[in-house]
Amino acid sequence: MLRSQVQGDLLALLFLHPQQEFSLTEVARLGGVTLSSVHHEVTRLLQAGLVRDRRVGNTRLVRADTSSVLAGPLTDLLAVTYGPRPVLSDALRGVLGVERAYIYGSWAARYSGVPGPVPNDIDLLVVGTADVDDLEDAVRPAGERLRREVNIRRVAPDTWARVERGEDASAFLATVTAAPLVPLDLDAADRRPSTAGAVR
């Protein structure tokens, strides 16, 4: 629906975290894209009046312009299209025993450019020792926000390590790893605290 996947990911990151600012470097890292492509998209979105920016020293910070008449409808649309990656990353960040997490299945396929219908649910693979009840509690609000059921499959770290080494895997894991996987960002170490109140 949008001009590029970089644009969709950028808008989703900003509008689904409306009280936060992000440096362009952080946006590039979270999206797994180049800084130049982020700079290009931010320039376009500034011209369209969808984002705001400011400088702190040499750092350029961007955030969603929530005063735009498009902000509410756009946020809803982004939540159900590009939203699963940032929303589920937020939901799992800090859950004890989660080492890695990936979206797989039809949503991951659509995100990766495989044509098909809009997915009705989201398949989530969690690598780690987290309690399944804790995982379900963590993603339940995310599923409500995304307006889709989130199906969780947990895999033990040693099992995933064998899969990564190319050793025998179950039929399920062989199918999952043969198709697109979208990694979630679980690193909170450099997550910027909200400074939206300082933005003019």
Hey, CA dihedral for 9, 11, 15, 21, is it positive or negative?
positive
On whether both 141 and 121 belong to a single domain, the answer is yes
Over its C-alpha atoms, the chain yields an Rg (Å, rounded) of: 18
Residue 42 sits in a domain whose CATH number is 1.10.10.10
Single residue among 47, 63, 82 that ends a domain in this structure: 82
Q: Is the pTM of this model over 0.95?
A: no
Say if residue 195's pLDDT is above 60: no
Structural domain containing residue 130? 84-183
Tell me if 142 is assigned to some domain: yes
Tell me if 99 is assigned to some domain: yes
Using N-to-C axis directions, what is the helix angle for 84-92 and 132-146, rounded to 10°? 150
Tell me if 197 is assigned to some domain: no
The pLDDT-based confidence of 188 (bands split at 50, 70, 90) is: low
On whether both 157 and 168 belong to a single domain, the answer is yes
On whether both 43 and 106 belong to a single domain, the answer is no
Tell me if 199 is assigned to some domain: no
Tell me if 56 is assigned to some domain: yes
Tell me if 200 is assigned to some domain: no
On whether both 94 and 175 belong to a single domain, the answer is yes
Average pLDDT, the chain: 88
Q: What is the 3-state secondary structure (H, E, C) of the chain?
A: CCCCHHHHHHHHHHHCCCCCCEEHHHHHHHHCCCHHHHHHHHHHHHHCCCEEEEEECCEEEEEECCCCCCHHHHHHHHHHHCCHHHHHHHHHCCCCCEEEEEEEHHHHHHHCCCCCCCCCEEEEEEEECCCHHHHHHHHHHHHHHHCCEEEEEEECHHHHHHHHCCCCCCHHHHHHHHCCCEECCCCCCCCCCCCHHHCC
On whether both 111 and 35 belong to a single domain, the answer is no
On whether both 149 and 176 belong to a single domain, the answer is yes
On whether both 105 and 173 belong to a single domain, the answer is yes
On whether both 26 and 109 belong to a single domain, the answer is no
Strand partners, 59: 56
Per-residue pLDDT at 176: 92
On whether both 88 and 127 belong to a single domain, the answer is yes
Say if residue 89's pLDDT is above 80: yes
Total number of domains constituting the chain: 2
Strands 22-23 and 121-128: unpaired
Single residue among 27, 60, 82 that ends a domain in this structure: 82
Tell me if 63 is assigned to some domain: yes
On whether both 89 and 73 belong to a single domain, the answer is no
On whether both 103 and 34 belong to a single domain, the answer is no
Residue 64 has phi, psi (to 5 degrees) of: -65, 145
Single residue among 82, 108, 125 that ends a domain in this structure: 82
Q: Average the pLDDT over 74-84 and give the result.
A: 89
On whether both 165 and 142 belong to a single domain, the answer is yes
Tokens of 35: 């800084």
Q: Average the pLDDT over 114-131 and give the result.
A: 93
Residue 175 sits in a domain whose CATH number is 3.30.460
